[in-house]
Amino acid sequence: MGAFSSLFARTPNQRRSRAIVKTLLYRVLMVVITIVVAFAVTDDVLASVNIGVVTNVVKTGTYYGYERLWDRVTWGV
């Protein structure tokens, strides 16, 4: 396990700006995926974009809060 654990550098508290950038880049990817899947199901561009945007705005806030909460947990660090 020593070799595996040395693959990743983990600091107990990442900067807030890093968490924001990670969150936004991840969510952009998820918006695109959601829109593509919604379009495959609905065959409606406007509905697909609405589904992609609304669900991912909610998920972005949830992910950011979740990341910040776990950044305070000392277990496993």
For the chain, domain boundaries: 13-71
Radius of gyration from C-alpha coordinates of the chain:
17
pLDDT at 13: 66
pLDDT at 36: 97
State pTM to two decimals. 0.58
CA distance 73 to 77: 8
Structure tokens at 57: 């705005």
Q: In the 8-state DSSP scheme, what is residue 7?
A: T
CA distance 10 to 30: 25
Q: Which mean pLDDT values do the consecutive 10-residue runs of the chain (77 residues) have?
A: 57 76 86 95 97 89 90 83
- How many other CB atoms are there within 10 angstroms of residue 43's CB atom? 9
Position 7: which residue type?
L
